[in-house]
Chain A
Amino acid sequence: MPRFATVDQLRQYRRQLAAGYDPQQLQVLVCAGPGCLPLGSLEVAAAFRTACAEKGLNERVILKTSGCQGLCAKGVRVLIRPQEISYEQVTVEDVPEIVATTLVNGGIVDRLVHQDPLSQAKCIHKWEIPFYQHQHLMVLRHLDLLDPESLDDYLRLGGYLSLEKVLLGMTPEEVIDLVERSGLRGRGGAGFPTGRKWRLCREVPGEVKFIICNGDEGDPGAFMDRAVMEGDPHAVLEGMIVGAYAIGARRGYIYVRHEYPLAVKRLQLAIDQAREAGFLGQDILGSGFDFDLRIARGSGAFVCGEETALMASIEGLIGEPIPRPPYPAQSGLFGQPTVINNVETWANVPEIINRGAEWYASLGTERSKGTKVFSLVGAVNHTGLVEVPMGTTLRQIIFDLGGGIPGGKEFKAVQTGGPSGGCIPKQFLDLPVDYDSLQEVGSIMGSGGMIVMDETSCMVDVARYFIGFLYEESCGKCTPCREGLRQLVHLYEDIIHGRAEEGHLALMEELCAVMRSASICGLGQSAVNPVLTTLKYFREEYEAHIRDKKCPALVCRPLLKYTIDPEACTGCLACVRECPVGAISGRKKEPQEIDQELCVKCGLCYEVCQFDAVRRE
């Protein structure tokens, strides 16, 4: 990669790249995104390499591992271009057949193509799959096109065009103005208007300013930011460089969660490449503008996703939030004016600059513009990553894209917004998803986790789970959050042990009111959302636990009873081997019995029994 001293040199290089590129080039893209990787993407890619070599295809076929291709439920996914043939659930054993049938002979391996769960129709090509048809890709648009480690791939797709555009012909004020008019709001949770944040920071006097990309993605059940950082790292960089130019920052940080080592590696590589190409460093593309970036790794603390805690962590301190104002835009990292935005927010910036504020503002709803990426997981057929215009309804996302609930089960609730969000029940399925409507029903947009639950999930357990999570993660600085969460943990313990009384629920509501109004940061303030929404929409489940001492969904361990059906039990002893406390006994090949005194109700026997002989009630 040469160093581009001017925009002209970059343009020259783009022309070279375009001339050397054949749109008919046969390409195999093996998905190595967060969903497919645990299913063996790298082994599948290696198998392609071997099989292509054996057939002498090395010259004809380009093999790439791509970022997330979206429909993770059916991984490992393989996309063959230019035809856009989309194979799914590919294993190492399938590879020789794909190579022989499709790459050599141009045929289709029928059993590996997608079948729509609703219409049963077979979809050979990506564009025929309903999951993709309903989406509008902006942030994810490159993910199944490029090799995330190749800057050439990124440039070929128009990468760094927005940087050219702002450096050549826009003043920082014009950039801010454009972002403001686009209506872009922060994707990290609160939805603060991005352009306004940038303007605030630009207008604060000061020589030294910083920008930060928040890649902490702490919400469990969310992996949008991971997929973008791993799958299209240069887009994040490009957005940040443009932002730095607009704000007048010369230094930036990308704060990445400790659990995402691959994201760190890809971003570091992208930074090195961008430096080499002259997109970072001194006098970027001959414009006189200097900016450089470095990565800060998180160390495993959820609260560090909160902006003031995050900055404390970069400064080498423990991650305790501080009350705002002053806002980071006024006094942030090392006391200097700082803009902190989420990964997805930054990744939106290049397209907004390229295509204009009006185009962007035409997408979405009145007060929420553009698209939003969600990680659609839980009890839904098509778990994966989706990007839809703001205002798409929950029903469209869960049923049209998501293919509905598996196993013929009933939809019960969808949880959005992570631990600060709420559980939304069936009556709101037609709710258009945007910042305001989610808030109206007691949840939040959050970063974009969307966890679908069916009748097998207990709403008391879900709320208890989040409270337990936040109790562990609270930094302990302010009393309402620290002690409030501790009390909620105790109250939930009482409920699931059948020790609670009717008055518990009122007490919980009272506690929540105090935590919401008196906690220092969003962690404590919004920790109450899972509690309040479940109390509001699923109160009868709480009452069943309290009054009948039963968990209707059969989840809360202390209220369950496991027995073995002597008719069905074959005496295979699988459960005996698994039981951690030796509570199951009986002779081989004869029905077994569970000692109720010893049983800890972990359910391992239930899970390993092949004969449905373990009863749970």
Chain B
Amino acid sequence: MMDAARLETIISRYDGEPYDLIPILQDIQDSYGFLPKEEVKAVARRLKVPLTQVYSVATFYKMFTLVPKGRHQIRVCLGTTCHLKGGQRLADSLSSRLGVKVGHTTADGQFSLETVGCLGSCAQAPVMMIDDHYFGRVTVDKVPKLLKPFQQAADSTP
């Protein structure tokens, strides 16, 4: 069921014009963790933008997802510097440890793993983020220790 009030709070921050489409979708993505179908349809109606155009925007930009993500977002940098300093190995290691392919979410819904262009902390390559936390100079052997607090947090929260 769609939570109309929650969506309304988001839409009401804007003028309700077609050019508000992207910021509204961004707010939905931030708030829900993905773009739920009913909400997307409602936005199309409210902004008087064809649904096809909403979907074209939602699938063009990388920050939007149409399926729910895991509780924690892991982002491994594969920017140039991180690429040179072993970012791919880091991504491989995380992928094998968590048993999930890049771009997917673990079966228990705890972690989504993705690789990104550049996180802007290139001086500390290789860099990764878990949710809003940055981690620099991450060698493969540090991975288990980094994951731990998030795994524990996952167990204790309902």
Contacts and interface: CB of A to CB of B under 8 A. Distances in A.
Given A220-B81, A313-B22, A453-B84, A377 B57 contact: no
A580 interface: yes
A164 interface: no
A299 interface: yes
B123 A259 contact: no
Interface string A460-492: 001001100100010100000000000000000
A465 B93 contact: no
A299 B120 contact: no
Interface in A371-391: 375, 377-379, 383-384
Contact of A604 (B56, B89, B120): B89
Contacts of B132: 261
B23 interface: yes
A221, A260, A315, A453: residue with the most chain B Cβ atoms closer than 10 Å: A221
Nearest to B54: A316
Contacts of A299: 22, 25-26, 61-64
B83, B120, B122, B136: residue with the most chain A Cβ atoms closer than 10 Å: B120
Contacts of A317: 53, 57
Contacts of A377: 81, 122-123, 125
Nearest to A475: B60
A297 B82 CA distance: 24
B109 interface: no
Given A218-B117, A302-B117, A415 B22 contact: no
A469 B136 contact: no
B60 A220 contact: no
Nearest to B61: A299
B19 A604 contact: no
Interface in A263-290: none
B16 to A, nearest CB: 12
Contacts of A319: 60-61
A304 B121 CA distance: 21
Contacts of A415: 80
A525 B62 CA distance: 23
Contacts of B121: 34-35, 37-38, 223
Interface in A83-100: none
Nearest to B27: A297
B42 interface: no
B106 interface: no
B49 interface: yes
A223 B139 CA distance: 22
Contact of A34 (B23, B83, B92, B120): B120
A607 B120 contact: no
A580 B98 CA distance: 11
B60 A301 contact: yes
B62 A301 contact: yes
A301 B63 CA distance: 8
Given A220-B80, A223-B120, A318 B57 contact: yes
Given A259-B116, A299-B64, A465-B83, A578 B140 contact: yes
A383 B122 contact: yes
A299, A378, A473: residue with the most chain B Cβ atoms closer than 10 Å: A299
Contact of A217 (B21, B120, B136): B120
B119 interface: yes
Contacts of B141: 574, 607-608
Given A223-B122, A259-B118, A317-B57, A607 B84 contact: no
Interface in A539-581: 574, 578, 580
B84 to A, nearest CB: 6
Nearest to B143: A578
B124 interface: yes
Contacts, number: 156
Interface residues of A, number: 60
Contacts of B60: 301, 318-319, 475
A219 B118 contact: yes
B84 A378 contact: yes
B74 interface: no
B81, B92, B132, B137: residue with the most chain A Cβ atoms closer than 10 Å: B81
B117 A259 contact: yes
Contact of A300 (B61, B125, B127): B61
Contacts of A578: 93, 96, 140
A220 B115 CA distance: 13
B34 interface: no
B65 to A, nearest CB: 11
Contacts of B25: 299
A378 B81 contact: yes
Contacts of B18: 315-316
B86 interface: yes
B135 interface: yes
A466 B18 CA distance: 35
A73 interface: yes
B32 interface: no
B81 A221 contact: yes
B38 interface: no
Contacts of B134: 37-38
Nearest to B17: A316
B82 to A, nearest CB: 8
B20 interface: yes
A258 interface: yes
A217 B124 CA distance: 18
A457 interface: yes
B107 to A, nearest CB: 17
A297 B30 CA distance: 12
Contact of B79 (A220, A313, A608): A220
B73 interface: no
Contacts of A38: 121, 124, 127, 134-136
Contacts of A258: 26, 63
A226 B124 CA distance: 15
Nearest to B91: A602
B110 interface: no
A235 to B, nearest CB: 18
A337 interface: no
Contacts of B117: 218, 220, 259, 302, 469, 473
A108 interface: no
Given A34-B121, A313-B22, A604-B140, 20 more contacts: A35-B121, A35-B123, A35-B136, A37-B134, A218-B118, A223-B120, A226-B120, A314-B19, A315-B19, A317-B57, A377-B81, A377-B125, A378-B84, A383-B123, A465-B80, A469-B117, A574-B141, A578-B93, A580-B95, A604-B89
8 nearest CB pairs, A to B: A220-B79, A580-B96, A72-B123, A300-B62, A38-B136, A299-B61, A38-B134, A220-B118
28 contacts: A34-B120, A35-B124, A35-B136, A37-B134, A38-B121, A220-B117, A223-B122, A260-B120, A261-B132, A299-B62, A300-B62, A301-B60, A301-B61, A314-B19, A315-B18, A317-B57, A319-B60, A378-B85, A383-B122, A415-B80, A451-B81, A466-B80, A469-B117, A602-B89, A604-B140, A607-B89, A607-B141, A608-B140
